[in-house]
Structures are given as C-alpha cells and as structure tokens.
Chain A
Amino acid sequence: MKGMTLIVRTITDFVVAFIVVFGAYIVLYGHLTPGGGFAGGVIIACAFILLMLAQGKEVAFSRFGEKTAHVLDSTGALVFLAIGGVGLTAGFFFKNVFGRGEPFRLLSSGMILPANIAIAFKVVGSLYLVFTALAIFRRRSFRSMIEDELT
C-alpha cells in the first residue's frame, strides 16, 4: 500500500492525534456520559486505520505495530477477566470491590472505569488486527477482481 495524495497525508498526520485523544476521552468518561470502552476503542482503532489508509501500511505499522496490537488485544481481555476475578475474592464474580466514589467525578463508579479501559484495549487491538489481516492480502489484485465480479 502506497497511500494517498500529499493533502490527505498531511491532514491525517495532523488529525490522528486529536482522534486518539477524543477516543481516550470517550473511554475515560464512559461511566458518566454516553460512550464507553467499546465506542472509544472503535474511535481509537479508526484513527490508526485512517492512518493506514492515507499513509500506507509501513507508516501505520511504525506507529502501531502488529505485535503491539496483539499484546493489547490479549492484555485487555486478561485485565477484564482479572477485574472479574478480583470480585470473586468478595464472594461473587464481578462484585464491585472498589469504592463507589462521589457521583459525576472521574474516579467514581467502582470497577466500571477500569473495565471500560480494559475493553478499550481489547477493542483497539482486535479491530486494528481485523483490518490489517484483511488489508494484508494483495490489495491491488483484489480491487480488480471485485470489479470483475460486480460488472
């Protein structure tokens, strides 16, 4: 994959950081406002997918490698399970053992915030991996064959 024109590449380079920050905000405030781990994770993953579309595979992999994505994918799920397991020490799987905190503050709602972060890790990793796994097939020939098939 070579990427797109100079204008697109410059703009995406500039915009990606903001999209990631916005995604992180959605994740961190998921227990207070609409959003959460899945929605925020999708936004962050989309930022890197955008980078891959605009600048090509090499640039995207240099910022966010496949191995990192694999690690994020697995650790997210493991952290989520660990949060559930911590609850088991209090007698029930996923029982809240953290303090509830004051309503409408960032550090509140017990385990929802760490669980959201864990889900976000998982979603970022796996969505990015799904995209790269599908994009890694020879893209040029694939495009031509779809045109052949659909016409």
Chain B
Amino acid sequence: MTVYFLCAVLLMMGLYCLVAKKNIVKKVIGIVIMDYAVNLYLIIIGYKHGGLAPIVEPGMNAQTLGRFVDPLPQALVLTSIVIGLGVLSLMVAMCIRMYEKHGTFDMSQISKLRG
C-alpha cells in the first residue's frame, strides 16, 4: 500500500512543479515527473514479490504458473514511455522556438493570450 501512496506523492510533486514554476523548462520537467509516476504505478500493479518470468515450459505445475508476474503492465509502460518521448520532444522543440521568439523561458513574460 505504501508504494501506491508514494506513487501518488510523486504525481503530486510533478503537478506542483507544473503549476508553481514559471520557467517553461521546469514545467516540462513537471510533466515528465507526472508521466513517470503513472508509469511507476503501472509497473507496481504488475509486480509480484518473488515472481517468475512468465515463460511457460513443459512440466510446470499450477503453483509455478501462479507465481508468474503479469507481463501486460510492462508492455503498457513500454508503449507509454514511447508516447511520453514523443510528447517530450514536441514540448522541448516548442520551448526552444518560444525562446527564439521571446528570449526568455519565463512564462509570465511570454504569456500574452488571456485563456
């Protein structure tokens, strides 16, 4: 249970970083922290203490099969990391372009639109 709680704390830290920091690079870092908190959460779902790699071999009994870790969350996390990479590169590219336009990373100086 504690690990889930720590996961939530990590998520909140990312959210705090995103909301409270003015520097857009730090905002990006906040998003990445949130993303990894969720990835960690998915991994914890599939974790099993003393688990085995899920490879079925001849002669395995039901007890051994029951000790397999769930491989599906790992596949999900892999996909999610790749998606995160795509989003991250887009965010960084936009940050660089915004720096070129404004000469600063400070969101309060960049911001002109009223929302």
Chain A contacts to B: CB under 8 angstroms: 38, 130, 133-134, 137, 142, 145-146, 149
Contact = CB atoms under 8 A, between A and B. Distances in A.
Contact of B89 (A38, A130, A137, A145): A130
Given A38-B78, A142-B96, A145-B99, A134 B89 contact: yes
Contact of B82 (A38, A137, A146): A38
Interface in B68-87: 78, 82
A134 B25 contact: no
A130 B89 CA distance: 7
Interface residues of B, number: 11
A137 B96 contact: yes
B92 A134 contact: yes
The 3 closest A-B pairs by CB, nearest first: A130-B89, A137-B96, A149-B105
B60 to A, nearest CB: 16
B93 interface: yes
Interface of A is mostly: helix
18 contacts: A38-B78, A38-B82, A130-B89, A133-B89, A133-B93, A134-B89, A134-B92, A134-B93, A134-B96, A137-B96, A137-B100, A142-B96, A142-B99, A145-B99, A146-B25, A149-B23, A149-B25, A149-B105
Interface of B: 23, 25, 78, 82, 89, 92-93, 96, 99-100, 105
Contacts of B78: 38
A103 to B, nearest CB: 12
Contacts of A142: 96, 99
Given A133-B93, A149-B25, 16 more contacts: A38-B78, A38-B82, A130-B89, A133-B89, A134-B89, A134-B92, A134-B93, A134-B96, A137-B96, A137-B100, A142-B96, A142-B99, A145-B99, A146-B25, A149-B23, A149-B105
A18 to B, nearest CB: 25
Contacts of B89: 130, 133-134
A120 to B, nearest CB: 13
B6 to A, nearest CB: 28
A146 B24 CA distance: 12
